């Protein structure tokens, strides 16, 4: 089944060229079924790239998904045109009275700041509080996961001596969780961050369960009871070249940066990177859509509590 996206969204061309099954709003209106309503709060500066990445993963299931894009009104995007935001994005004021089957809160390049120093922190806290009664299941990514763990559970983040940067092997710790159903015992996932959360802080919260972790990158996946909240510390949504773009950006700016680990063949950045996480990324999002959204969300979306 396709993902339903706004008419004219730039991601449509890329996804069509990749043979991804998409459906515009115009075509979807002729079908007599209820799609899953998924809200994507895009906090990344490269919004077009990010919306394309998540659209690709959300389309890889037999479910029809209606995607609504959201941006913060208390922060003016510098790398995305206002025309694009006005054409394809909503603000929280536009959706606060609605209900959604699922929501994704992305990462953001603000991890070196204290949470309260982030320009849109108060708005984000209001949105995160709203998800508890207006969204059936919310998936938080990277900094978005750290921010939600801090806001909802008081779990702090800690600065790292060296940036976690690359593609790392992870171990499934809780094999009975449907979020990781079909996963190999070990799997690869990208990370790109300067801060971390600690296992011992998460384990103090009885309603949280660590699902997978990496000896090099730390905790990877956490869920709350019943899966109403999912926390993913890595960037499984990344394209094959996303880490390379970040690496070359910092390298060309003269910043201290090493090549991403386990990314280039023989650690040679003149060679094309290897994408070793695509299959598990697709499985992660299809499992979330199926088991934590579709199978448990009420048919009457207005009854979400």
Q: What is the pLDDT of residues 21-64, one digit of tens each?
A: 566 666 555 544 678 999 999 999 989 999 999 999 999 888 88
Q: What is the pLDDT of residues 232-263, one digit of tens each?
A: 999 999 999 999 999 999 999 988 889 999 99
Per cent of the chain over pLDDT 70 is 94
Three-state DSSP state, 148: helix
Mean per-residue pLDDT, 100-120: 96
**What confidence category does residue 176 fall into, taking pLDDT thresholds of 50, 70 and 90?**
confident
Question: Of residues 142, 191, 246, 280, which has the active-site annotation?
Answer: 142
Give me Rg for the CA atoms of the chain. Answer: 18
- Looking at residue 304, its pLDDT comes to 85
**Which residues share a beta bridge with 227?**
none
CA pair distance 296, 287, nearest whole angstrom: 12
CA-to-CA distance for 189 and 178, rounded, in angstroms? 18
pLDDT at 40: 98
- Residue 12 and residue 21: Cα distance in Å, rounded? 10
pLDDT of 303 reads 86
Active site residue 237: yes
Query: Would you call 235 a catalytic residue per the annotation?
Result: yes
How confident is the model over 123-148, as pLDDT tens digits? 999 999 999 999 999 999 999 999 99
Instruction: Answer whether residue 204 shows pLDDT above 90.
Output: yes
Average pLDDT over residues 106-128: 96
Q: Out of 66, 237, 246, 280, which one is annotated catalytic?
A: 237
Dig out the tokens for 154 from the structure. Answer: 């008081």
Query: What is the predicted pLDDT for the residue at 156?
Result: 98
Integer Cα distance of 288 and 273 in angstroms: 28
Residue 171 is predicted with a pLDDT of 98
Q: How many Å apart are CA 256 and CA 263, to the nearest integer?
A: 18
Q: Give the distance between the most distant pair of CA atoms in the chain.
A: 55
Give the pLDDT score at 77. 75
Please give the model's pTM, rounded to 2 decimal places. 0.88
Q: What whole-number distance in Å separates Cα of residue 219 and Cα of residue 208?
A: 12
Question: What proportion of the chain, given as a percentage, has pLDDT over 90?
Answer: 72
**Strand ranges, E, within 143-293:** 158-172, 186-196, 208-214, 218-224, 229-232
Rounded Cα gap, residues 101 and 303, in angstroms:
11
């Amino acid at each position: 089944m396709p993902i339903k996206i706004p008419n004219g969204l730039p991601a449509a061309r890329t996804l069509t060229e990749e043979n991804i099954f998409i459906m515009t709003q115009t075509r979807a209106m002729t079908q007599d079924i209820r799609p899953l309503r998924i809200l994507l709060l895009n906090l990344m500066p490269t919004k077009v790239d990010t919306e394309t990445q998540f659209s690709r993963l959300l389309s890889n299931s037999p479910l029809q998904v209606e995607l609504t894009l959201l941006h913060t009104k208390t922060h003016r995007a510098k790398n995305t045109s206002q025309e694009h935001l006005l054409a394809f994005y909503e603000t929280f004021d536009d959706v606060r009275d609605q209900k959604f089957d699922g929501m994704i809160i992305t990462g953001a390049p603000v991890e070196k700041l204290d949470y309260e120093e982030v320009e849109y922190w108060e708005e984000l806290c209001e949105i995160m509080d709203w998800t508890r009664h207006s969204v059936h299941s919310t998936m938080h990514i990277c900094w978005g996961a750290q921010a939600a763990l801090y806001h909802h559970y008081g779990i702090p983040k800690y600065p790292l001596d060296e940036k976690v940067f690359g593609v790392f092997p992870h171990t499934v710790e809780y094999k009975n969780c449907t979020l990781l159903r079909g996963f190999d015992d070990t799997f690869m996932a990208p990370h790109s961050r300067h801060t971390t959360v600690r296992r011992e802080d998460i384990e103090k919260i009885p309603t949280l369960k660590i699902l997978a972790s990496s000896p090099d990158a730390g905790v990877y996946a956490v869920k709350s009871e019943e899966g109403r909240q999912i926390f993913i510390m890595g960037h499984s949504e990344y394209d094959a070249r996303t880490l390379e773009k970040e690496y070359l950006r910092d390298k060309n700016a003269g910043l201290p940066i090493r090549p991403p680990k386990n990314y280039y063949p023989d650690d040679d950045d003149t060679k094309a990177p290897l994408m070793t996480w695509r299959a598990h990324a697709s499985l992660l999002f299809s499992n979330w859509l199926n088991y934590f959204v579709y199978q448990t969300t009420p048919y009457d979306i207005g009854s979400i509590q």
